[in-house]
Amino acid sequence: MAAAIAAGAAPFPPRALATWFHRRPLLAAWLLLVPPLLWFGTVYLGSLFALLAQSFYAIDEFTATIVPRLTLATWAQLLTQPAHLDIVLRTTAMAIAVTIAAAIIAFPIANHMACHASGRMKAFFHVAVMLPMWTSYLVKVYAWRLILAKEGILAWCLAALGLDGVLDALLRTPGIGGPSLTSSYLGMFIVFVYMWLPFMILPIAAALERVPRSLIAASADLGARPAQTFWRVTLPLAMPGIAAGSIFTFSLTLGDYIIPSVVGAPGYFIGMMVYQQQGTAGNIPLAAAFSVVPIVLIGIYLALARRAGAFDAL
Amino acid sequence: MRSSRAWDAPSFGSRLAAWAGIAFLHAPVAIIVLYAFTTGDRSYDFPPPGLTLRWFALAFERSDIWQSMRLSIGVATVATFAALVLGTLAAFALARSRIRAKNALTLLFILPIALPGIITGLALLAAMKIAGIEPSFWTIVAGHATFCIVIVYNNVIARLRRLPPSWIEASMDLGADGWQTFRRILLPQVATALLAGGMLAFALSFDEIIVTIFTSGHERTLPIWFFNELFRPRERPITNVVAVLVIAVTLLPILLAYHLTRPASGRD
Amino acid sequence: MTAAIELRSVRRAFGATVAVDDVSFAIEQGEFFSMLGPSGSGKTTCLRVIAGFEQPDSGAVFLEGLDVSGTPPYGRDVNTVFQDYALFPHMSVLDNVTYGLRVRRVPAAECRRRADEMLALVKLADMGARRPAQLSGGQKQRVALARALINQPKVLLLDEPLGALDLKLREEMQLELRLLQRRLGITFVYVTHDQGEALSMSDRVAVFNRGRIEQLDAPEALYARPRTAFAARFVGGANVIEGRYAVRGENIEIADPAAPAPAGTVRREGTIVDTQYQGAVRRWQVRTDDGELITATRPDRADTSQAREPGARVALRWAHTHMIELAAD
């Protein structure tokens, strides 16, 4: 019977070849991986390596050209100049503040879409979070410039509500203030939180989706009030989501150079420093060394998050 | 009446916070759309003095905008195609295999979106300088494809992992070899995930600025055109119109991708 | 006659867990053969080794005398009915059923003809255009069966095929499967954890435990003469006394502690722990004075259930002839 069934036209590619690979699943997998690995190996890893190598190249002080002579001078310069440390601290502080604020604002939205909305409402919330996330990055930055401008929309709205005094007081506050929201750390903070908020909402919602509703019911059944259930059941189970989201908010803030240059106070941020050093200053070795800083900071952040048990519930 | 509410109904405060958050997310986009129609040519005025379609007509006559638009669409198309091929290969290789280096490879593939974009951009620039490659259409594509691969990879591997292993076994049990199973079972099952991944990759590439600045040289993609306008505010109303066009070009594929991948869509 | 299937010293481990440990047996042509055991006992892995989804680490599988150990699933003339049915959701019932023929490039007209035959055989003649999602559990089960049988396999493998059905439907399908097997004369290899199912349907049953076969026998022999303590307990829930003898609950009489023991019987005194009413019979669980828990099953008549509440003292007795000696573990 098998012979009668197999009597059709010969399959292509030949079955013998299919069987040869079927017996060698690992080889087949590695063969599939050849093109993507070639791409990542040459284009991406090759470039990252080139970047790292550049940070050890010397720079000719007079002609401002790079000479391929190995030196640690750039790294010494990066680590010893107090201004550089300021930039790193300022960027890190902003990243931490943005991460915390994003988590606080994101949680109720995520909780609502994961646990309380159902059917059409859930779909609506998903789209409502996803659309702003995928809306053009530059358009959103541009919008915030219009909103935060000295005579912009936010100022107009606050004046209409009679709250313009509050804004003035905030702008006079040292550290976060400035001549207007478009040139203050406060304005930059608002824009960062806005930009990365969906990256925080979606992982938290995904984590909460995975929490069986029966756990909440069990907590209530065992006598916990809603607030107790939140602190003892919901929040610990949402931690992996918060951790995942915070990696985005932290990493995206550390590396961004457009927001600090479009909306921001005069103080430099890591991304701007990298951009400026490779551009107008023409100091690629210093830019390369500086770009390693966010990687190190993200590494430290991940290690701390892991030690705090942020991934335990995964 | 409190007593008529379900025991786990959200409190008023939590509902307010959720809806306020959604409003916060949408207000800036809404404002930009509104400003594309303002009659004022100094768009910092609020509220807009009146509404008009005049700026759309003016923007459509600008050849520099069309040129940038064409370049962006071209780059996004080629980058998406490369990402579809490479991302799908990677997903199929890693979905079920017992390769030991699986975790390391997964990390490698997601690295371009996990690390700040400026690092990818500067790294590509450094490599181009060392290798003596001039910036061009193709250097932009190379940068975009690198972070688009992971989008396709994630979409396809998520779908592959949701497929019950018994479907593949059933197909082989019924006499289909690896190729036939791929063509008749796996490909139809991942087709929508592929399409969705492609849409997302296209949208991501079309809108990319952080990496593009480093790899584009004198080429002006639409985001670069837009970026220059941010610092040289010549014709604000035109910029507003382009902003609306950019939103439209990116959001259509995103909505389609969402439609293709939502879990409870009833395609079964 | 060559065996339909033969396994010789098959071993399959997953990491440190040995799923199938040096198992050898042969299945005759046309036999209804069941593999019975608790979950994790190795029965499903054995089935997957026969189907070709798992490669044995050592040992060999023979299909009608031919070594197929290295042959991929699509090269073996066996077909499987999966526990979750594994119907392809993007194909109609008809396309699911003809899949095996189509991948072998059988002409469309013949595909159609044989599919109609098969769908009629499983009583789904007018369901060809439906999608799997539009079918009930029992209908999916039949489609899975038709999809496998249309290829006229030498052996049909069934992996707990009735597990997802409710009790009534399961009993109907048991009968139908049995009749179908007799009519087609195909060898069936049936995996189940339900001893009643295995006993009522099979020609022979292999009892699996911890990757090994504890006993391989016809149902009657398995029930009447369990060879190991595990087989005795798992098939029909026999009592194991002193670790060496099996006594079935229905052969144990409950008597007054004062009553004398007739000649040729064994007698144990103890206290009733619990009783369960089960319709035709009543189960009594008695803790004997030497600490063993023994279950007696008696027809539920007034004379046995009188005034024997948990806590009451009773004597249990059974004939020597009802004690089955077990092999040492």
Number of domains within chain B: 2
Burial of B133 (0-12, 13-18, 19+ CB in 10 A): middle
Residue A268 has pLDDT above 60, yes or no: yes
Name the phi and psi angles at A297, rounded to 5.
-60, -40
| Residue with token string 């899949």 | C99
Average pLDDT over residues B60-76: 91
| Same domain? C301 vs C153 | no
Name chain A contacts of C75, Cβ cutoff 8 Å. 19
- Asked whether B91 and B157 are in contact (CB, 8 A), the reply is yes
| Same domain? C129 vs C244 | no
> Are A19 and C75 an interchain contact pair (Cβ–Cβ within 8 Å)?
yes
Average pLDDT over residues A147-157: 83
Query: Which member of B172, B175, B188 has the closest CB to residue C151?
Result: B175
Q: What is the nearest CA distance from A8 to chain C, expressed in angstroms?
A: 5
> Are B268 and C89 an interchain contact pair (Cβ–Cβ within 8 Å)?
yes
Beta pairing class for C78-81 and C204-209: unpaired
> B188 in a domain, yes or no?
yes
Q: Residues B154-176: pLDDT tens digits?
A: 999 999 988 999 999 999 999 99
Separation CA C21–CA C211 (nearest Å): 5
> C295 in a domain, yes or no?
yes
Separation CA C221–CA B217 (nearest Å): 85
Query: Which member of A6, A19, A22 has the closest CB to residue C104?
Result: A6
Separation CA C11–CA B267 (nearest Å): 41
| Same domain? C217 vs C281 | no
| Same domain? B30 vs B134 | no
Q: What is the nearest CA distance from B173 to chain C, expressed in angstroms?
A: 5
Domain end point (choices C172, C191, C224): C224
Quick check: helix, strand or coil at residue A28? Answer: helix
Name chain C contacts of B171, Cβ cutoff 8 Å. 88, 99, 103
Which chains reach chain A with 3 or more Cβ–Cβ distances below 8 angstroms?
Answer: B, C
Q: Can you say whether the dihedral through the CA atoms of A216, A219, A224, A227 is positive or negative?
A: negative
Average pLDDT over residues C177-196: 94
Residue A62 has pLDDT above 50, yes or no: yes
Alpha helices in chain A (DSSP H): 2-5, 15-22, 25-39, 46-54, 73-80, 82-111, 120-134, 137-148, 153-160, 164-172, 185-209, 213-221, 226-229, 235-255, 258-262, 270-278, 284-307
Name the phi and psi angles at A210, rounded to 5.
-80, -10
| Same domain? C185 vs C67 | yes
Judged by CB atoms within 8 Å, which residues 125-164 of B form the interface with C? 164
Give the residue from C136, C94, C138, C95 showing the smallest Cα distance to B185.
Answer: C95
The answer to whether A224 faces chain B, any CB pair under 8 Å, is: no
The answer to whether A22 faces chain C, any CB pair under 8 Å, is: yes
Name chain C contacts of A22, Cβ cutoff 8 Å. 72
Do you find a cis peptide bond into A13, omega within 30 degrees of 0? Answer: yes
Domain end point (choices C202, C224, C246): C224
Computed over every residue of chain C, the mean pLDDT equals: 91
| Encoded tokens for A86 | 């300021």
Name chain A contacts of B250, Cβ cutoff 8 Å. 134-136
| Encoded tokens for A298 | 């993200």
Average pLDDT over residues C68-73: 90
For every residue of A171-234, DSSP letters joined together read HHSTTT--SSGGGSHHHHHHHHHHHHHHHHHHHHHHHHHTS-HHHHHHHHHTT--HHHHIIIII
C contact test, residue of B159, B172, B173 with most C CBs within 10 A? B173
| Same domain? B81 vs B196 | yes
Number of domains within chain C: 2
Taking CA–CA distances from A156, the nearest residue in chain B reads B46
| Same domain? B99 vs B158 | yes
> C79 in a domain, yes or no?
yes
CATH code at C18? Answer: 3.40.50.300
> C230 in a domain, yes or no?
no
Query: Which member of B8, B27, B122 has the closest CB to residue A287?
Result: B122
Separation CA C312–CA C272 (nearest Å): 6
Q: Residues A200-233: pLDDT tens digits?
A: 999 999 989 888 888 888 888 787 888 888 888 8
Q: Which domain holds residue B164?
A: 63-266
Between B and C, how many residue pairs show a Cβ–Cβ distance under 8 A?
64
H, E, C per residue of chain B: CHHHCCCCCCCHHHHHHHHHHHHHHHHHHHHHHHHCCECCCCCCCCCCCCECCHHHHHHHCCHHHHHHHHHHHHHHHHHHHHHHHHHHHHHHHHHCCCCCCHHHHHHHHHHHHHCCHHHHHHHHHHHHHHHCCCCCHHHHHHHHHHHHHHHHHHHHHHHHHHCCHHHHHHHHHCCCCHHHHHHHHHHHHHHHHHHHHHHHHHHHHHHCCCCHHHHCCCCCCHHHHHHHHHHCCCCHHHHHHHHHHHHHHHHHHHHHHHHHHCCCCCCC
Q: Can you say whether the dihedral through the CA atoms of C145, C147, C149, C153 is positive or negative?
A: negative
Residue B1 has pLDDT above 50, yes or no: no
The answer to whether A9 faces chain C, any CB pair under 8 Å, is: yes
CATH code at C288? Answer: 2.40.50.100
| Same domain? B140 vs B184 | yes
> Are B174 and C84 an interchain contact pair (Cβ–Cβ within 8 Å)?
no
Separation CA A155–CA A158 (nearest Å): 5
Q: Sorting pLDDT into bands at 50, 70 and 90, what band is C307?
A: low
| Same domain? B22 vs B131 | no
> Are B207 and A46 an interchain contact pair (Cβ–Cβ within 8 Å)?
no
| Same domain? C215 vs C289 | no
Least confident residue range of A170-174, B15-19, B50-54: B50-54
Task: Give residue B43's pLDDT.
Answer: 52
| Same domain? B73 vs B137 | yes
| Same domain? C281 vs C216 | no
> C229 in a domain, yes or no?
no
> B2 in a domain, yes or no?
no
Q: Residues C82-113: pLDDT tens digits?
A: 999 999 998 999 999 999 999 988 999 999 99
Average pLDDT over residues A35-49: 92
| Residue with token string 């609950």 | C249
| Same domain? C190 vs C252 | no
Q: What is the nearest CA distance from A108 to chain B, expressed in angstroms?
A: 5
The answer to whether C104 faces chain A, any CB pair under 8 Å, is: yes
Considering A165-174, A176-185, B180-189, B250-259, the range whose residues carry the highest mean pLDDT is B180-189
Q: Sorting pLDDT into bands at 50, 70 and 90, what band is A6?
A: very low
Distance of CA B53 to the CA centre of its chain: 29
Q: Which domain holds residue C194?
A: 5-224
| Same domain? B261 vs B206 | yes
Domain end point (choices C189, C224, C259): C224
| Same domain? B206 vs B243 | yes
> C14 in a domain, yes or no?
yes
Separation CA A20–CA B112 (nearest Å): 35
| Same domain? C283 vs C202 | no
| Same domain? C149 vs C247 | no
Which chains reach chain C with 3 or more Cβ–Cβ distances below 8 angstroms?
Answer: A, B
> C158 in a domain, yes or no?
yes
| Same domain? C173 vs C199 | yes
The answer to whether A65 faces chain C, any CB pair under 8 Å, is: no
Computed over every residue of chain A, the mean pLDDT equals: 85
Q: Residues C208-260: pLDDT tens digits?
A: 999 999 999 999 999 989 999 999 999 988 899 888 899 999 899 888 888 88
CATH code at B226? Answer: 1.10.3720.10
Give B138's contacts (C-beta < 8 A, 6+ positions apart).
none
Query: Which member of A22, A51, A135 has the closest CB to residue B123?
Result: A51
| Same domain? B17 vs B72 | no
| Same domain? C129 vs C276 | no
| Same domain? C216 vs C245 | no
Percent of chain A clearing pLDDT 70 (strictly above): 93
> C156 in a domain, yes or no?
yes
> B1 in a domain, yes or no?
no
| Same domain? B78 vs B147 | yes
Q: What is the nearest CA distance from A85 to chain B, expressed in angstroms?
A: 19
| Same domain? B33 vs B135 | no
Name chain B contacts of A250, Cβ cutoff 8 Å. none
Residue A247 has pLDDT above 70, yes or no: yes
> C202 in a domain, yes or no?
yes
| Same domain? B35 vs B140 | no
